[in-house]
Amino acid sequence: MSTVQTPAATTVDSTMASSTAQFLSPIVLGLEALVVNGKQAHWHVRGANFIGVHELLDSVVAHAQDWADLAAERIVALGLPVDSRLATVAAKAKETAVPAGFAQSDVIINAVIADIDAVLVDIQTAIDGLDETDLTSQDVAIEIKRGLDKDRWFLFAHLAA
């Protein structure tokens, strides 16, 4: 078994660290894409419930940024790098439903929910995959899922009749 030296000089199983990075990296990239697309949506939302959706999107973006940082820091704490450069994030998020310009709030909300749903798929994959290798990292994924589910619910509540 090989080990990776972390900055804190603790020893980490390199197989576990690699597995964790494999599961958490797509989450980091998906959340970073959600940050960019969420801001796009925030700037261009229109409609009767503009202010509520506009402000809610700011919260969604802030949460996504915090969770991306949480997942990325877990990977780095295990001694591995994270590639979240713009081109890497763009490649991950090549398909987004968020329109390029102004749109009614229901269109914007559905688009952001679609982006959230894409991240939730990666999160569930991480939760399932980390069950056997790294329970601490699985907890990180579970925490992110819990929060993202709540943000999704808040957005969806604007569409519910």
Q: What CATH number does residue 27 fall under?
A: 1.20.1260.10
32-75 pLDDT, tens per residue?
A: 999 999 999 999 999 988 999 999 999 999 999 999 999 999 99
> Count of CB atoms within 10 A of residue 107's CB?
18
- Based on the structure, what is the number of domains in the chain? 1
Beta strand segments in 23-161, E: 45-46, 103-104
The whole-angstrom separation of Cα 157 and Cα 20 is 34
16-41 pLDDT, tens per residue?
A: 899 899 999 999 999 999 999 999 99
Q: pTM of the full predicted structure? A: 0.90
Burial of 33 (0-12, 13-18, 19+ CB in 10 A): buried
Beta strand pairing call for 3-5 and 11-13? antiparallel
The whole-angstrom separation of Cα 35 and Cα 33 is 5
Domain that holds residue 52: 3-157
